[in-house]
Amino acid sequence: MSAAESTLSPADLLEQLGVDVDPELLVLALTHRSFAHEAGGIPTNERLEFLGDSVLGIIVTESLFRRHSTQPEGELAKMRSATVSQRALAEVARTLDLGRYILLGKGERRTGGREKDSILSDTVEAIIGAVYLTHGLERTRRFVHTLVDPLLDAAAGLGAGLDWKTSLQEASAEAGLGAPRYESDSEGPDHARVFTSRVLLAGVVRGTGRGTAKKHAEQIAAEEAYVWIDQQRVAAAEPSEPAASA
Q: Is the pLDDT of residue 244 over 60?
A: no
How far apart are the C-alpha atoms of 155 and 80, rounded to whole Å? 7
Q: How many whole angstroms separate alpha carbon 164 and alpha carbon 137?
A: 32
* pLDDT grade for 30, boundaries at 50, 70 and 90: very high
Sign of the CA dihedral running 113, 115, 121, 126: positive
Query: 42, exposed or middle or buried, with CB in 10 Å at 0-12, 13-18, 19+?
Result: middle
CA dist 31 and 28 (Å) reads: 5
Does the pLDDT of residue 57 top 60, yes or no?
yes
Local confidence band at 162 (pLDDT 50, 70, 90 cut-offs): low
User: What is the C-alpha separation between 44 and 135, in angstroms, rounded?
Assistant: 21
Look up 163 and say whether it is catalytic.
Answer: no
Amino acid found at 58: I
Answer whether residue 151 shows pLDDT above 90: no
Q: Supply φ then ψ for residue 205, to 5 degrees.
A: -70, 120
- Give the pTM: 0.67
Asked whether the predicted pLDDT for residue 1 surpasses 80, the reply is no
DSSP state of 244: P
pLDDT classification of 4: cutoffs 50, 70, 90: very low
178 contacts 202 by C-beta, under 8 angstroms = yes
Amino acid identity, position 204: V
- Compute the mean pLDDT over every residue in the chain, rounded to the nearest whole number: 87
Concerning whether 125 is annotated as a catalytic residue, the answer is: yes
Residue from 49, 53, 218, 224 carrying the catalytic annotation: 53
Whether the CB-CB separation of 59 and 141 falls below 8 Å is answered with yes
Q: How far does Cα 3 stand from its chain's mean position?
A: 27
Q: Quickly name the fold that domain 164-234 has.
A: Double Stranded RNA Binding Domain (3.30.160)
In angstroms, the CA 108 to CA 136 distance is: 32
3-state DSSP call for residue 184? strand
CATH 3.30.160.20 residue ranges in the chain? Answer: 164-234
Instruction: In the chain, list all ranges with CATH 1.10.1520.10.
Output: 10-161
- Alpha-carbon distance values, 188 to 127, 198, 213, 220 (Å): 56, 18, 12, 20
Taking the CB of residue 111, how many other CB atoms lie within 10 A of it?
12
3 confidence band (pLDDT: 50, 70, 90): very low
Question: Which top CATH class is 10-161?
Answer: mainly alpha
Sequence-distant (≥ 6) Cβ neighbours of residue 165 within 8 angstroms = 180, 218, 219, 222
Q: Which residues pair with 210 in a beta bridge?
A: 196
Residue 83, amino acid: T
User: How sure is the predictor about 81, in pLDDT bands with cuts at 50, 70 and 90?
Assistant: confident
Q: What is the mean pLDDT of residues 217-237?
A: 84
Q: Which of 122, 125, 218, 230 is catalytic?
A: 125
Question: Which pLDDT score is estimated for 246?
Answer: 45
